Amino acid sequence: MSHDHSLNPETMPQEPEKATLEGKNKFLGLWFFLGGETVLFASLFGTYLALRNSTAGGPATTDLFGLELVFVMTMLLLTSSLTSVYAMYQMKNNNFKKMQLWLGITALLGMAFLACELYEFYHYIHEYEFTFRSSAFGSAFYTLVGFHGGHVVFGLSWLIVLMVRNAKRGLNLYNAPKYYTFSLYWHFIDVVWVFIFTVVYLMGKVG
């Protein structure tokens, strides 16, 4: 296998994620993909802004949202973005074990975030009978926040598959781009959440 040699060099290059053409392509391709995702979320935000006061007599934003839980969720996700930066830093140090450790922490923070979100939805449905079907606002809220949550689920599955698959063989030039593109995707999810926090929750509470 000639690949093993070319993908496992004696000394790792400074940027292992972009050392091969495949790596460069993946890196750039994911950036373009995030461009498309931006339009996707922009469309969802636009829809939400148009419908956020269309409560049809049901609960409104000011009745529902509590900033405490959302603040905790924001901190969890922001921290998980930071830990994924540490992981990429360790990747550039060619320290695979520490990279996996930081990614593991990232995954745990992501799961904690998801748990909070599930609790939040459960709370709205059972305490306020505020569902996906109760009003146009309900549909828009669950769709926007749910799409973000779906992205978190997908990202976590991606991360776990990556970590398990590569646990035994360590870092090479074949899997480095995969880790790196994951981290880009994870940052993007984080940025989207910052907008959700602002547009949905803060503006819902005071706007």
Footprint of other proteins on this chain (CB under 8 A)?
Answer: 1-3, 21, 24-25, 28-29, 32-33, 35-37, 39-40, 43-44, 46-47, 50-51, 54-56, 132-140, 143, 158, 161-162, 165, 174
| Beta carbon of residue 24, minimum distance to other proteins (angstroms, whole number) | 5
Is the C-alpha dihedral spanning 199, 201, 203, 207 positive or negative? positive
H-only helix segments in 129-175: 136-166
* Residue (33 or 195) nearer to other proteins, CB: 33
Nearest of 113, 115, 87, 112 to residue 179 by alpha carbon: 87
* Residue (112 or 146) nearer to other proteins, CB: 146
Contact in structure between 79 and 110 (CB atoms under 8 Å):
no
* Residue (79 or 139) nearer to other proteins, CB: 139
* Residue (47 or 79) nearer to other proteins, CB: 47
Q: Which two tokens stand for residue 182?
A: 């994951």
| Beta carbon of residue 81, minimum distance to other proteins (angstroms, whole number) | 22
Backbone angles phi, psi at 95, to 5 degrees: -105, 90
